[in-house]
Amino acid sequence: MELRGEADSGCVSSVSYGLGHGVHLIGPKSPTMKCLYYLLLAVTLAPVQTFAKECYAYCSLIIIRESGENDTVLYSFSTTTYSLDQGDQAKLAFLMNGTCMSCRWVVRRNGAVIYDAITMSGFEFDVSTPGFYQAVGYADNFFEPGTFFIANTQVPLVQLEVKAWLQGPYDPDTGSMRDDLRAAGVLPYIHGVDSSMLGISGPHALVDQVFVELRSANSPQTQCDIRPGLLQRNGDIVSLNGTSSLSFGAPAGDYYVVVYHRNHLRAMTATAISLGGDPVTLDFRDPLFPTYGSEARMIEGDAALLWAGNTSNHHSISYTGNYNDRDVILQVVGSDPTHVVAGYSYADVNMDGIVKYTGPDNDRDVILLNLGSELATGVREEQVP
Ligand SMILES: [Ca+2]
Ligand SMILES: [Ca+2]
């Protein structure tokens, strides 16, 4: 299967992307969704309809193999990555049962909404085009998004070594990041990653999965390629084999570079960087390393950290209002705010493997801290176009 490249979107050249070996679906999460009630706002003068039905909706990723051996992946915390072979397709399936009346589903690719509809029955949606995907179900409130990633498999031509700190697990006393998720055994399975890597401790221990994007020099909002990477305690981002630099399927040229983590704000280089076959090192940990926008990172001493607290996976950190990051924590802990939940979650702001709303080491305070003097009503916007 051939997909046309990014010629009209500002990337360096017109290329064809083959969906072949090495295409990855990284679909970490999207727990079973429970629709309690949903308010359907009609566009005309019709009154608001209220559905208050106990029902269940599921989000699945289906990989349709050309070989005939299809995979169905119910989103779960234990599955993060799937590979497509030549000719394979990927689909998101939305399944509803029980007494569901309706749910609203929104699918984004590279941040742009490509599907937004209210459905009363299940449907399938093609997601074979390379890019970041996010699928969110809405009922009486939004749910934790399911995200996954499809790369192109053009021959890699650009090499990059990227280093970054995440505020959540960063420990200023040691000058490195904690690897609590690895130590607790809750990191999701990542296809292509040897399980022995999870046994590595010390500075090269695995903190979490991240992504690195190349953006067009002419149009920095245009994504040219994305690659998954593994973030180590010392800030190194390495490829899924654990050692080498990241390889991108883009021709040599100038690119903006974005580093991305699921519940931190992304950061981008201030300018387009000349990249090619010899690895270029970009150190986002360094406060003097220039980034796009203002206050793109939190500066703590001699360390620059990606801002923590983006539990809702929208492009800002907020404590109140639509898509705020506090509600996601409350959703995970449930009706009792003193309840704690262990595991791998967007809501785990400090990445210690526990979702906690109150008390010592809770995940809420970091959100407030990062809003600074504006406190609860402030919004910290991501500095990536
Ligand atoms: Ca957010
Ligand atoms: Ca936590």
Domain boundaries, the chain: 20-150, 155-385
* Confidence (pTM): 0.67
Question: Rounded to an integer, what distance in angstroms lies between the CA atom of residue 350 and that of residue 169?
Answer: 5
Place of tokens 């007494």: 99
**Ligand 1 centroid, distance to 169 Cα (angstroms):** 18
Residue 57's φ and ψ, nearest 5 degrees, are -130, 145
Alpha-helical segments (H) within 223-272: none
Beta-sheet strands, E only, within 120-252: 123-126, 131-138, 146-150, 158-163, 165-166, 170-171, 176-177, 206-216, 223-232, 236-238, 246-248
Question: What is the structure's pLDDT at 53?
Answer: 42
**Which of the ligands is closest to the CA of residue 381?**
1
Res 267: pLDDT: 98
Contact indicator for 370, 380 with CB cutoff of 8 Å: yes
Q: Whats the size of the chain, residue-wise?
A: 385
Residue 360 CA: which ligand is closest?
2
In 120-197, the DSSP E strands lie at 123-126, 131-138, 146-150, 158-163, 165-166, 170-171, 176-177
Ligand nearest to the CA of 371: 1
Strand partners, 26: 81
CA 379 to centroid of ligand 1, rounded, Å: 9
Q: How far is CA 300 from CA 162, 173, 187, 260, in A?
A: 19, 11, 27, 19
Q: In terms of DSSP bridges, do strands 303-306 and 297-300 run parallel, antiparallel, or are they unpaired?
A: antiparallel
Distance 241 CA to ligand 1 centre (A): 31
Which pLDDT value is given to residue 39?
Answer: 25
HSE of 344, CA atoms in CB hemisphere, 13 A: 24
| pLDDT for position 192 | 72
Please give the Cα distance from 132 to 226 (Å, whole number): 8
The DSSP code sequence of 286-318 is STTS-BSSSS-EEEETTEEEEPB--TT-SSEEE
From residue 305, how far is each of 14, 171, 255, 272, 293 by CA, in Å? 35, 11, 22, 21, 15
Ligand 1 centre distance from Cα of residue 367 (Å): 10
- What separation in Å is there between the alpha carbon of 310 and the centre of ligand 1? 4
C-alpha of residue 370 to centroid of ligand 1, in Å: 12
* Cβ neighbours of residue 68 closer than 8 Å, sequence gap 6 or more: none
C-alpha 270/C-alpha 312 separation (Å) is: 25
Query: What pLDDT does residue 52 have?
Result: 36
Q: Judging by beta carbons within 10 Å of its beta carbon (0-12, 13-18, 19+), is residue 336 exposed, middle or buried?
A: exposed
The encoded tokens of residue 199 equal 């046994």
Confidence at residue 150, expressed as pLDDT on a 0 to 100 scale:
66
Q: What string of DSSP letters covers 10-69?
A: T-SS--EEE--TTEEEE----PPEEEEEEEE--SSSPPPEEEEEEEEEEEEEEEE-TTS-
Q: Which ligand is nearest to the CA of 341?
A: 2
pLDDT at 338: 94
Distance 187 CA to ligand 1 centre (A): 22
Q: Which ligand is nearest to the CA of 347?
A: 2
| Exposed/middle/buried for residue 325 (C-beta within 10 Å: 0-12, 13-18, 19+) | buried
Walking along the chain (385 residues) 10 residues at a time, the average pLDDT comes out as: 31 31 27 28 27 54 74 47 65 69 75 80 78 68 60 65 98 97 90 84 95 90 85 95 81 92 96 93 98 97 97 90 92 92 95 97 95 80 96
